Structure 1
Amino acid sequence: MNDVLAERCDRLRDIILELTPLMIEVQGNASRLNAVLPVVQRLRAVANEGADGIDNPSYRQWAGGAPSNIDALEEAAKAGDAEAAWRAFADQESGVNLLSTACAGYPGW
């Protein structure tokens, strides 16, 4: 049987591994926020696939909030607002924490 969550976590792993250090870096150098934008677009592409076929409640919650969370992250990055970008990234209700919880136990997570 195809494990949709495993496939998503596999695809998302490299995105989050690239995005996380960038988000830390921009806290001290907001001029690097432009580097966040292409990574956010890759994250959006996966998030837009939704949560069909995935029973994991953390992933379903993340996927449900991801569009607005990603919008907020993108808007903050475009505005050069590192603090707002971090708030979106680290948001406990819709940020990458939920994604990390959902993917815990899969390779690379």
Structure 2
Amino acid sequence: MADTIEQRCERLRQPVTELVAMSLAAVYRSQDLPELSRAIGAVRSILAEDASGLPAGPFRDWLPTALRNLDRMGEAVDAGDGAKSYAILTDKQDGFIRLTDGCAGFPGWSVNG
């Protein structure tokens, strides 16, 4: 059975929280790069799941960009560049802020959630 958008957002909440934390840590601590790589993989595995059952909108629109961003983040991590990976994650145009838009209104994804 396919996830609903709310279920997908719920499943992403903790892995994305870890991704953000490890991304920031790896900017300052290169020894955290392997853990960041693991966090990238965890988020990627959820985002790469079949989205055909999810409604059209901000979440689905951003998925191709999200997967490209995760690939680029992984490449930066492999090159030892935690700062570049973090910059991709936090890009104001295409970064993970768009996931916040796609999951807005669900628990843990908004100020009121």
Same fold (TM over 0.5): yes
Give the structure 2 partner of residue 34 of structure 1: 34
TM-superposed deviation, 1:56: 4.8
Partner Cα distance (2:68, 2:16) in 1: 17
Structure 2 residue ranges without an equivalent (≥5): none
Structure 1 residue ranges without an equivalent (≥5): none
Give the structure 2 partner of residue 15 of structure 1: 15
Give the structure 1 partner of residue 101 of structure 2: 101
Q: Which moved more, 1:48-57 or 1:24-33?
A: 48-57
TM-superposed deviation, 1:55: 2.7
Higher helix share: 1
When residues 53 and 94 of structure 1 are mapped into structure 2, their CA distance, relative to the original with a 3 A threshold, is: farther
TM-superposed deviation, 1:6: 0.4
TM-superposed deviation, 1:57: 2.3
Assess if the C-alpha contact under 8 Å between 1:33 and 1:82 holds in 2: yes
Give the structure 1 partner of residue 62 of structure 2: 62
TM-superposed deviation, 1:83: 1.9
Query: After TM superposition, which residue ranges in structure 1, 4 or more long, deviate above 4 angstroms?
Result: none
Give the structure 2 partner of residue 79 of structure 1: 79
TM-superposed deviation, 1:84: 1.2
TM-score by length of 2: 0.83
Q: SS where residue 102 of structure 2 aligns?
A: helix
Which amino acid in structure 1 is aligned with residue 32 of structure 2?
R
Partner Cα distance (2:56, 2:14) in 1: 20
Partner Cα distance (1:56, 1:93) in 2: 20
Q: CA RMSD in A?
A: 1.8
TM-superposed deviation, 1:3: 6.4
Which amino acid in structure 1 is aligned with residue 79 of structure 2?
A
Partner Cα distance (2:98, 2:50) in 1: 14
TM-score by length of 1: 0.86
